[in-house]
Amino acid sequence: MRIVLTGAAGFLGSHLASRFLDEGFEVVGVDNMITGSPENVARLQERDGFSFRRHDVSTPLYVEGSVDGVLHFASAASPVDYIEFPIQTLKVGSLGTHNTLGLARAKGARYILASTSEVYGDPEVHPQREDYWGHVNPIGPRGVYDEAKRFAEAITMAYYRVHGVRVRIARIFNTYGEHMRPSDGRVVSNFIVQAIRGEPLTVYGAGQQTRSFCYVSDLIEGLFRLYSSEHVGPVNLGNPNEFTVLELAQIVLGEVGSRSEIIYGPLPTDDPKVRQPDISRARELLGWEPRVELRDGVRRTIPYFRRRIETMDARARSLP
Ligand code: UDP
């Protein structure tokens, strides 16, 4: 069995590649390295069955030989990144989804789209179920990601209806863990890195907005089950335990054992006030639910960031 995985150098992509290799698949990883990590690629290249192509999937992708699955995980995913790369984000979500669906169609492969809780925008329904259509500002700074993913879902369903491609759509909620870049910019990595360095934790707004954080191993298990299932249409994948950003800051300070202070900055435009997945569909269809509590997941993630920071600091010291 052989899969093509876009975004293989990214946070989720690199974990997914490892999981599929563990399951005996050959993995063709693709990434244009705008936000992917060379460290993630280097680790995967040590493994049998993995090959890597540097390619921007906004342009057509040709792969020789048989392909059983196409997994489209390429995209900037951190708000700071998609706001820095708005046009690339729109292109990978639209043209990239079109190209990868075309590949799946040509190869008779199954297809899984990495969609997002951002399709719900700043939600007026809480928690969010898959039948909620969302509340997105199409012209705001986050719209580049949200609308690209909404288009991606629409074209994915069209390829199912018109061409019979066996598609699955994962609506992924906030996820954290090892292999995120220290400079990723999302809240869990920011807080852990700041706490380790003894720098102030940057809470945006009053910190009363909520998120529901899923540890990466739980998410990967859900994704693998979804890939293996026959379900067409969106499935929420995330941890339904909801926390305020301020609660997260306290947990991180406690687990790192840091005395960093908390400072408050402006809330980004259109920052969702609440977010929590209703995972009834995933429970029912996939027999899946997350197991790792936030405090435990944060504890598991800290040593990874400590190593990354030590390596980065050692490299900076060795520069002339
Ligand atoms: N956030 C924060 N401090 C940071 C980074 C993010 O308070 O250093 C907040 C952000 O405003 C949002 C929440 O944490 O309310 C989650 O942000 P993240 O960028 O992780 O992902 P989002 O859920 O917004 O896509």
The tens digit of pLDDT for each residue in 281-313 reads: 999 999 999 999 999 999 999 999 999 999 999
Distance 199 CA to ligand 1 centre (A): 17
Q: Is residue 130 part of a domain?
A: yes
For residues 67 and 109, is the Cβ–Cβ distance under 8 A? yes
Counting atoms of ligand 1 from 1, which one is nearest the CA of 190?
8
Distance 15 CA to ligand 1 centre (A): 22
**Ligand 1, atom 1, residue with closest C-alpha:** 187
Report the pLDDT averaged over residues 30-35. Answer: 98
Q: Is residue 148 part of a domain?
A: yes
How much of the chain exceeds pLDDT 70, in percent?
100
- With a CB cutoff of 8 Å and minimum separation 6, the contacts of 189 are 176, 180, 181, 182, 305
Q: Is the pLDDT of residue 97 over 90?
A: yes
Report the pLDDT averaged over residues 39-53. Answer: 97
Choose the residue to mutate in 136, 180, 183, 211 for probing ligand 1, maximizing ligand atoms within 8 Å of C-beta.
Answer: 211
Report the pLDDT averaged over residues 21-38. Answer: 98
Counting atoms of ligand 1 from 1, which one is nearest the CA of 194?
8
- Measured between its terminal Cα atoms, the distance across the chain in Å is 48
pLDDT digits (tens, 9 = 90+) for 186-224: 999 999 999 999 999 999 999 999 999 999 999 999 999
The tokens for 86 are 């708005």
Pocket of ligand 1, beta carbon within 6 A: 78-79, 174, 186-187, 190, 202-204, 209, 211, 245, 267-268, 271
Choose the residue to mutate in 118, 128, 194, 204 for probing ligand 1, maximizing ligand atoms within 8 Å of C-beta.
Answer: 204
Q: Is residue 186 part of a domain?
A: no
Tell me, what's the pLDDT at 319? 86
**How confident is the prediction for the chain on average, in pLDDT?**
97
Q: Which helix (H) or strand (E) holds 52?
A: strand 50-54
Tell me, what's the pLDDT at 320? 81
Report the pLDDT averaged over residues 253-271. Answer: 97
CATH number at residue 54: 3.40.50.720
Q: Is residue 94 part of a domain?
A: yes
Q: Name 265's bridge partners.
A: 204
Q: Is the pLDDT of residue 100 over 90?
A: yes
Q: Report how far residue 19's alpha carbon sits from residue 224's, in angstroms, rounded to the nearest whole number.
A: 8
Full residue range of the structural domain in which residue 106 is found = 2-176+214-237
Q: Is residue 93 part of a domain?
A: yes
Q: Is residue 7 part of a domain?
A: yes
**Ligand 1, atom 4, residue with closest C-alpha:** 187
Q: Is residue 81 part of a domain?
A: yes
- Hey, which residues are catalytic here? 145
In terms of DSSP H, where are the helices of the chain?
11-22, 38-45, 79-84, 86-107, 143-163, 187-197, 216-228, 245-256, 280-286, 294-318
Report the pLDDT averaged over residues 72-99. Answer: 97
Choose the residue to mutate in 89, 137, 171, 187 for probing ligand 1, maximizing ligand atoms within 8 Å of C-beta.
Answer: 187
pLDDT digits (tens, 9 = 90+) for 140-185: 999 999 999 999 999 999 999 999 999 999 999 999 999 999 999 9
Q: Is residue 103 part of a domain?
A: yes
Looking at the structure of the chain, the number of domains it has is 1
